Structure 1
Amino acid sequence: MMHSDPNLSSTMTDQTEDEYGLRNSSASAVGTGMYGRMSCEGSPVMMSPWNQASPFTQTEWSNVDENLPQNGLIGSLVREEGHIYSLAATKDLLYTGSDSKNIRVWKNLKEFSAFKCNSGLVKAIVISGEKIFTGHQDGKIRVWKVSPKNQSSHKRSGTLPTLKDIFKASLKPSNYVEVKKNRTALWIKHADAVSCLSLNEEQGLLYSASWDRTIKVWRISDSKCLESIPAHDDAVNSVVSTTEAIVFSGSADGTVKAWKREQQGKHTKHTLMQTLTKQETAITALAVNKNGTAVYFGSSDGLVNFWERDEKQLNYGGVLKGHKLAVLCLEVAGGLVFSGSADKTICVWKRDGNIHTCLSVLTGHTGPVKCLAVEENLEVSEQKDHKWIVYSGSLDKSVKVWGVSESFIDMNNMGTMQQEQHVISHSEVVMSDGSFSSSTGGASSHQRG
């Protein structure tokens, strides 16, 4: 039985660091801070070419008993070729990215197709129509196109930024910016790993977050980089765009920021609207509900905090305590919030107003849960009981598929999870240890562990 730990904000143990490869951001090509950021790609064994399998080796899903409880495992795929870092689900297809240089496509729990890139670790995948965008450790965003005649055929159609735009930008000295002491680079290029991608299909925009501390804004129609936002003081681990012209970003510097998108003539401009939190532990995951009224952020201390938006601003709502180790991924679907953690579990939270109840804890992974994707199960969903298919990718090299019902409550976990609520003024932010810090004030006196 899982119990929440009142000392979650304490410094992580050496065992935790070994388990999922905690790296200090000073290893970044551009970062000089001392904040931790979650990754596992630095291991020489994992990066070795001898540790890779063929991209087209067929692997079967193992199925469990069909007489399932309402919240339970549907199937599991054990992949021996690489640790799973990214997932994207669309209709009946699932895309998985790993550190094996392969992107696989699954249909009906069986391998459907695979395509290979030469960039190594695939840290993010998003899908827009027939285009698939992948973010990579080498700082590039690659664009793939699905053949309209053959859904299993994927071909690379470009890279962001395009070679043409790189050449044009390189002709102007003003297009070079400092990314590290005595080092400059074009502002349209990421100078470090792309950690996250987020689509705004209504506006035709793609947002990319990077360990180079910036967020870049791309126009999907012509692959142009419209803006580079110097967003944080350390690696940006997550970015989420909403339909309300607000973009949220979370960083290893311990802050979550809300950016307002504005159209200034022909140009798109993002301005800082509000800094939601300024804490000692790294922000490792972000998720926003469908209408953009609630934002959740997970951090390296195992907590999930959330903020709620009214007509004027975002206000702190509370904290969900369900994990013993870092929260590595978050998803919101319907009235549910899913949090995946380095403690190898997935907590399923149900939101009722601003109160969250833990419906169940999904266990079965033998490594940290690095990524999640959720799709509604339209075949069995009812008007009063939405059912969801949840995909979880782990550093144990497996993808697991779960069936989750909004009405199911696991009584074994009732009372073991906590939600704490605080009433604070909008000018204050909550520190991970429960103290408060002004969002407009100077640097926190708390030191990083």
Structure 2
Amino acid sequence: MRNSRKSKMATEENCHPKQAFGNVLQSDPNEDEYSFRISHTSETSHLPPRLSSDYSSPLATSPTRDSSASPYLDPSWDQSHQTSPLSRSPWTSHVENNSTNYSYTGLMGSLVREEGHIYSLAASGDLLYTGSDSKNIRVWKNHKEFSGFKSNSGLVKAIILSGERIFTGHQDGKIRVWKVSGKDSSVYNRIGTLPTLMAYIKTSMKPSNYIQTRRNRNTVWIKHFDAISCLSMSEDQKLLYSASWDKTIKVWRASDSKCLESIKAHDDAVNSIVVGFNGLLFSGSADGTVKIWRKESQGKGTKHFFSQTLLKQECAVTALAVDPSSNYLYCGSSDGLVNFWQGDKLLSHGGVLRGHKLATLCLAAAGNLIFSGSADNNICVWKRDGGEHICLSVLTGHSGPVKCLAVEEEQEQKGGDKQFIVYSGSLDKSVKIWRISSQLVPNQAEVGTSPPQNFPSSNSCRVSQRRK
């Protein structure tokens, strides 16, 4: 058994994840369903709620269809034709045509997929990108299917947008780069793979460029030899960072896809990375630590150096998020807690948000709101007021763990009230769309939401609790 898995299992024993996940998921020995190293659990024990539109789809006849039923796996579909397979899509959509009619905070609609789980999301304006274990990236425009493109291998663990390019990180350890066709905005072409074939061949020529992997095999240092867990871009969009279960972070120059650096960052799988606060790089790992890396100029290039360890605990760190507007760093863990630090106070520990019963799987920050998705199937909405955090509401509706989040601010504001569109991807095979108001009153319950009844007292929910 691999060393990282041994460390992971030790972490699981300390945090009692079997008890936490046992009532939610069933075991699947064939694959890890979480993109952080903590559990081998798989398929949700409860099927997603059926929508009326589901029954109009020929794929809705069976709730447990084999993945081979996906049209993308049909060899007759040739991606070289560069046509979008929308007519053969396994997705169904249930969203109001005129979403501006919604004046409340709550669930707007769902995008449901009959096979596979949702691992990654990215949003930009009216476009939403979804990645799943079918190896496909779907593109949605105004909550309707718009386009899609398919990788050759490796389920889609991460998606990040940078200008006209889309970077996707996969379980096979590769990063793929896509770009919209100049002739047809619904056609996406793959323009590269990281590392590039030429760079790989050139690097493999020198024996000194090889490193030993966990299986006593050698590989070149520019290549991840395990699943990519997340991607992040530098603030100036010049550097791409990739983190992997192979315990490393790699730094890529976005302009020419060159791998500049490989950082042996942690003693176990790196589950999350994020850039913020004047170029600082934060990394969270299954080894229970959050580390800071600083970027320094070195000759004509840059190099990253370890700065400090912000957190060291027994439970795995599963998610990180930065709010650059107010210099706050948030960290989710497999114990369900969300720690946070204040950048304008030399990254002093600000407190702990206690809102979930099971592992926190994903985080997102927008304006003065923070969103945390969990294995308990819920999304907590937190509002930051000064140094305190108030739990506004709990978004309920998913029947499986919430794996990923993406947030976009609405362009049309009503009365100065900032409103956000939140996309949540789940292992229940659906993406849900929510409208959230920054003026939401604490404990306000609307359609698709519920008050935080299962939290500690209202005072402890309003006031950030400092970690002992």
Normalised-by-shorter TM-score class:
0.7 to 0.9
Counterpart residue number, 1:11 = 16
- Displacement, 1:73? 0.7
Match of 1:426 in 2: none
| C-alpha distance after superposition, 1:253-290 (max 9, x if no partner) | 00001110111112211111110000010000000002
Matched, 1:395 2:431: no
In structure 1, how many angstroms separate the alpha carbons of the residues matched to 2:139 and 2:437? 26
- For 1:316, what is the secondary structure of its paired residue? strand
1:439 corresponding residue in structure 2: none
Instruction: Output the CA distance in 2 between the equivalents of 1:228 and 1:134.
Output: 19
2:123–2:129 Cα contact (<8 Å) kept: yes
Which secondary structure does the structure 2 equivalent of 1:310 belong to?
helix
1:247, distance to aligned residue in structure 2 (A): 0.5
Distance 2:27 2:321 in 1: 22
Equivalences for residues 234-273 of structure 1 within 5 A? 234-242=268-276, 244-273=278-307
Matched, 1:369 2:402: yes
**Where does residue 427 of structure 1 map in the other structure?**
none
Q: Distance in 2 between matches of 1:395 and 1:76?
A: 14
Aligned match of 1:407: 439
Which structure features the higher share of helix residues? Answer: 2
Q: 1:367 to 1:75 in 2, by over 3 A?
A: same
2:319 to 285, 288, 297: 285
Q: Distance in 2 between matches of 1:47 and 1:261?
A: 48
The count of corresponding residues between Structure 1 and Structure 2 is 404
Alignment counterpart, residue 314 of structure 1, candidates 333, 347, 365: 347
Q: Aligned ranges for residues 6-405 of structure 1 at < 5 Å?
A: 10-14=15-19, 16-17=21-22, 19-20=24-25, 36-37=37-38, 49-50=67-68, 52-54=70-72, 56=86, 57-58=88-89, 59-63=91-95, 68=102, 70-180=104-214, 182-242=216-276, 244-291=278-325, 293-310=327-344, 313-380=346-413, 382-383=415-416, 385-405=417-437
CA contact (8 A) 1:303 1:323 kept: yes
Per the alignment, residue 6 of structure 1 pairs with none
Q: TM-score, normalised by structure 1?
A: 0.84
Identity of aligned residues (%): 59
In the alignment, what sits opposite 2:4? Answer: none
Aligned partner of 1:421 in structure 2 is 465
1:219 maps to a residue whose letter is R
Gaps of 5+ in 1: 1-8, 28-34, 423-429, 435-449
Distance 2:19 2:69 in 1: 25
Q: CA deviation at 1:52?
A: 3.3
CA distance in 2, matches of 1:187, 1:141: 15
Q: How many Å separate the matches in 2 of 1:376 and 1:13?
A: 37
Aligned-CA RMSD value: 2.7
Deviation at 1:156, TM superposition (A): 0.6
1:11 is matched by which residue type in structure 2?
H
Give the direction of change, closer, same or farther, for the CA distance of 1:95–1:260 in structure 2 (3 Å limit): same
* Structure 1 residue 75 displacement after superposition: 1.1
Aligned partners of 1:266, 1:42: CA distance in 2, in Å?
Answer: 49
- The residue number in structure 2 matching 1:445 is none
CA deviation profile, 1:317-376 (whole Å, cap 9, x unmatched)? 100011011000000000000000011110000001110001111110111000000000
- Residues 216-260 of structure 1: CA deviation (Å, up to 9, x unaligned): 010110000011010000000000012511000000000001110
Question: Is 1:20–1:39's contact at 8 Å kept on the other side of the alignment?
Answer: no
In 2, the alpha carbon distance for the partners of 1:294 and 1:90 equals 22
In the alignment, the residues of structure 1 paired with residue 353 and residue 251 of structure 2 have an alpha-carbon distance, to the nearest angstrom, of: 31
Deviates more, 1:161-170 or 1:55-64: 55-64
Which residue matches 2:77?
A: none
**Per-residue Cα deviation, 1:384-415 (whole angstroms, up to 9, x for no partner):** x2110000000001001100000012344384
Q: Which amino acid aligns with 2:198?
A: K
